[in-house]
Amino acid sequence: MTSKVASPGLFDPAIIKGASVDAFRKLDPRHLARNPVIFVTEVVSALVTLLFLRDLIVHNGAALFTGQIAAWLWFTVLFANFAEAVAEGRGKAQADALRKTRSDTRAKRLIDPENKSGMKDVVEGVSALDLRIGDVVLVEAGDLIPGDGEVIEGVASVNESAITGESAPVIREAGGDRSAVTGGTTVLSDWIKVRITAAAGSTFIDRMIALVEGAQRQKTPNELALSILLSGLTIIFLIVCVTLWPLANYSGTTLSLSVLIALLVCLIPTTIGGLLSAIGIAGMDRLIRFNVIATSGRAVEAAGDVDTLLLDKTGTITFGNRMADEFVAVGAVSEHALAEAVLLSSLADETPEGRSIVALAMSRYGLAAPLLGAEARIVPFSAHTRISGVDLPGRSVRKGAVDAILAQLEADFRTSRENNREQAATAFDADVLERAAVAKSLIPDDFTRAVERISRAGGTPLAVSENGRLLGVVHLKDIIKPDIKARFAELRAMGIKTVMVTGDNPTTAAAIAGEAGVDDFIAQAKPEDKLAYIRKEQQGGRLIAMCGDGTNDAPALAQADVGVAMQTGTQAAREAGNMVDLDSDPTKLIEIVAIGKQLLMTRGSLTTFSIANDVAKYFAIIPALFIVTYPELGAINVMKLASPQSAILSAVIFNALIIVALIPLALTGVEYKPVGAAALLRRNLLIYGLGGIIVPFIGIKLIDLLVSALHLA
């Protein structure tokens, strides 16, 4: 069971304390300039503060009112900064947890990694911080891997719980797509030689620390568009407030500059402006809790609009190595006898397929591994012969590719026919030779049927023979990861099309696609084919997500809008993607998409609430200011606030407090449910549109009652 990265609570004392300090540091205008709404609020806060000091010096009776307006305007700015600081503080807490996995470990660096001298490996002890790209280190059982790298020799069991939270160890070996190792993880057994691929300070953990701290986060296109909208609204309301001054003077109503500034701050969308950064940072934080590291908020947001998901088959949908699934005996041979023969032929087979055959024979048939005596001769697997096996006194057992085994049977038969019977008897007795003739002249029908059935199902048949006679077939198949079909059904319900990409032939690809439950597949795919498919879909206006773990997936991961690299994959894949899944679970995209949609919904909901707030505050302030001059405005003075000063002060106080009240929602996000866009829009308008109008009416009225009771205005 995978444990998620621990996430601090919303009101963690350490985070609140740090955020309170950071809220003041963020008052730097150079920082706030990136947020036009809050920047304008800070500027006018400073201006009202100057007016307060002026009124205080000249003993103006309005000093108390101006001072309160200035104080609450500054609180508005500070609360907006506080929201962003809390979101960043949660990310820094995650970074501190990751930083604990880093330590100044000692490394065993090979002095002569290429072994040009032909002597035994010689190592020197160095600090992990002194390692350079290209150095080769020896890591043995119990050692920490000193840095990110690729296994170039050996195979070992590695504990990656410090990175992934997964307690089960993983196998790392040279070659293939499972050769990448991460600094700070521990070798549990055996040994490996690792070529360092990242310098100190730029390792995977270092990059994760920088990412979760939000140091590299940039605004997404939607955020930029929303910022432009908020800036436009700010300019519009600025013009409105400026034109109100001469209009008020013309009608005989006196408006002070502090009142106009308060009106401006209440009307511009300060609520969403103050929470916008917190929403984006919190989206990345939610990903971290699902053990996914995103390089930017842009990737998180793009995930919310993904239309198509491409998944590499090997290591993503399947476990990566074909494994034995069944033994099919032919003729009069029993399954138990076939299992014994296959076990004998696989004892010295150290390939993943060979190990899976041994495991199946022992677990399903209750066999124990026999001891091979001194007379035994192991026939190792060769890419040239595609056959492996063992020779024992009176027994010669072989397993391998079907065509290779049949070719060997044919060759043995021809050799035996050319030799006289006395010579042949030294290797085969008469009835063995007769069985060889039968094997050549008539391959059992059930053998042919078994091979065809396995091939149609997308599996790999291995033929097994003993002393020139076919015993049966071993069915090797790609093992689909558990529950993956149900997960793909969830993606389909979310409107996401799943496409499996594999180098297998179309028959094998179709079988695996059907078993896994994907919507489509691309067979015999080369890296350029994946890239071409993604570009074609993107030209059609679709957003593409790609999950992969191999070096051959790197171009597609880089091109995709959301490239999710498996943490167990190669360094090239992890560098190319804009997300890294620490659990190496391809269906994690369900959570990634849900978080992306949640981020978009949260931003949209709070924007709706903020703009609706402005409508309510308009009804609170404008009638209170002009009701004496224009009594007709009494028709919309539904709040019946105590006085113009009380109306202004109550609206400003509410404007500041509502940001604080919405911080938890901005950090946790609006709950996402896979329903249609129309239903989401109705819910959004009902809850956050109507709620954004009603809440200020209630809140401002309650504050007005309190202000009037305390005679603050």
**Residues annotated in a binding site for ATP:** 349, 353, 381-388, 399
Give me the catalytic one of 55, 135, 206, 312. 312
- Interatomic CA distance for residues 389 and 584, integer angstroms: 35
Q: Give buried/exposed letters for 20-41 (b at 16+ CB in 10 A, else e).
A: eebbeebbeeeebeebbbbbbb
Q: Residue 429 catalytic?
A: no
Integer angstrom CA distances of residue 642 from 248, 621, 701: 20, 11, 9
For residue 369, give the 3-state DSSP assignment.
coil
Q: Are strands 520-522 and 497-501 parallel, antiparallel or unpaired?
A: parallel
Q: What residues contact residue 102 under an 8 Å CB cut-off, 6+ apart?
A: 183, 184, 205, 206
Residues at the annotated binding site for Mg(2+)?
549, 553
Amino acid identity, residue 17?
K
- Interatomic CA distance for residues 284 and 217, integer angstroms: 9
For residue 262, give the 3-state DSSP assignment.
helix
User: Radius of gyration over alpha carbons of the chain, in Å?
Assistant: 35
For residue 524, give the 3-state DSSP assignment.
coil
For residue 522, give the 3-state DSSP assignment.
strand
Q: Is the dihedral of CA 463, 467, 470, 475 positive or negative?
A: negative
| Strand arrangement of the beta sheet that strand 377-379 belongs to | 318-329, 469-480, 460-466, 395-401, 387-392, 377-379
Q: Are strands 395-401 and 387-392 parallel, antiparallel or unpaired?
A: antiparallel
- Interatomic CA distance for residues 304 and 543, integer angstroms: 10
Integer angstrom CA distances of residue 649 from 29, 66, 71: 25, 9, 11
- The residue written with tokens 């009494």 in the block is 634
Q: What is the DSSP letter of 293?
A: E
Secondary structure of the chain: what % helix, strand, coil (to 5)?
55, 15, 30
Tokens of 101: 């996995």
Report angle CA 609, 589, 520 to the nearest 5 degrees: 120
Q: What residues contact residue 630 under an 8 Å CB cut-off, 6+ apart?
A: 251
Which residues are annotated as catalytic? 312
